Structure 1
């Protein structure tokens, strides 16, 4: 059951060192390192090319067409946070724009992930405030019905707890549970090191068929080469 009308002011954020290590990795690497878990729905996209973010989640549960709780959430932002906003029902209205971004940045926010609409895209790109959203829509919103801040939310089909690590780049958005941040960072770093070795071998002309030892399995599954 959704918790409405409440703002939790004390949350446990992921370890800053683990967040810094995760910030050096890509979304695809972290997703694979967690056992192919944590990805938000691919409808969540960066609003401008090159947008990227990594930080700890301040979560927001909004009502459709109502951005009141985004303003409430700004007060809870600490340096290094990413605001993650979900709705009680689907809405693509323009919940967020340049003025809210200015306010969030003043509190130390690194960006926004929102399962809803965003506007003022040109201005947000100009000030380099990264936003990952489900839509770009100029339609305005109201401030009429409370939601909640810093409660568990389901954003783009993915559970986000306050304090989780949010990593977003051109490949999408991945959520790393705060308790798993350090082990995920270690697994991601190991994976990236392995990929660098494979990258060098592929660049030298070796085939993935041989590097990944695919030939025997393909043969067992009936693959034949015919001259």
Structure 2
């Protein structure tokens, strides 16, 4: 089957998915073993928004948003629509009208390696978007694609039903079958960071807390006075 719309996808557990939003994309990326980050090209059009949801994936032709319309029909509350053009495509695949449909259906966000437009309106209506491009140029509706098949959003593979975590730092994808373990690891990491934060506020520094002095020594890094450095540089 070349082009399909898969209608009955399995999704990650809703409670686990919602809980991952608390930790943000960077912590979740670390908790996942430094995996799942979509890359620095996918950026938010708003600030101060953190979301998580289950992926509805969309593979589209360059400059053609036909399959995004098909994906909206498949979306339900708590989903995130993830749109990946088959080639880099700086078109406005969606704007305020399509976002209105998504928001009404309970879609949490729209994420794409393509582009969007109507960004002022999207921010005004409170519909979160992460995108590689912002463009006034619109699309056509002529070319078949697929909905709910595996896609690559930047460097991250996204399968339908995977968890999408996004905030000001970018987008991280958590495989559906690893969502529970990642949540456990994220909670442990957050607790560790809270303990370190308290020690930093008490005056300790990361060189000591993280035992970095032996690392520097093993790498041959020397601590010298200015006079010693000046003498060695002559």
The alignment status of 1:180 with 2:181, answered yes or no, reads: no
Indicate the SS of the match to 1:75: helix
Deviations 1:35-84 (A, max 9, x none): 10000021000012223321000000111000111111111001000000
CA contact (8 A) 2:149 2:160 kept: yes
CA contact (8 A) 2:24 2:50 kept: no
CA contact (8 A) 1:51 1:131 kept: no
Indicate the SS of the match to 1:135: strand
For 1:30 and 1:214, locate their aligned partners in 2 and report how far apart those are by CA, in whole Å.
24
Partner of 1:164: 162
Shift in Å at residue 154 of structure 1? 1.2
The one of 131, 137, 140 aligned to 1:139: 137
Shift in Å at residue 217 of structure 1? 2.4
Shift in Å at residue 184 of structure 1? 0.1
Structure 2 length as normaliser, TM-score?
0.93
Stretches of structure 1 that go unaligned for 5 or more consecutive residues are: none
Partner of 1:217: 215
Indicate the SS of the match to 1:82: strand
Partner of 2:60: 62
The alignment status of 1:204 with 2:202, answered yes or no, reads: yes
For 1:80 and 1:213, locate their aligned partners in 2 and report how far apart those are by CA, in whole Å.
42
The Cα RMSD (Å) is: 1.1
Shift in Å at residue 167 of structure 1? 0.4
For 1:188 and 1:71, locate their aligned partners in 2 and report how far apart those are by CA, in whole Å.
35
For 2:93 and 2:39, locate their aligned partners in 1 and report how far apart those are by CA, in whole Å.
19
CA contact (8 A) 2:66 2:142 kept: yes
5 Å matches for 1:2-81?
4-81=2-79
Deviations 1:160-206 (A, max 9, x none): 00000000111110000000000000000000000000011111110
Q: Post-superposition, which runs of at least 4 consecutive aligned residues in structure 1 deviate over 4 A?
A: none
Structure label with greater radius of gyration: 2
For 1:128 and 1:54, locate their aligned partners in 2 and report how far apart those are by CA, in whole Å.
15
Deviations 1:75-97 (A, max 9, x none): 10010000000011111111010
Partner of 1:119: 117
Structure 1 length as normaliser, TM-score?
0.96
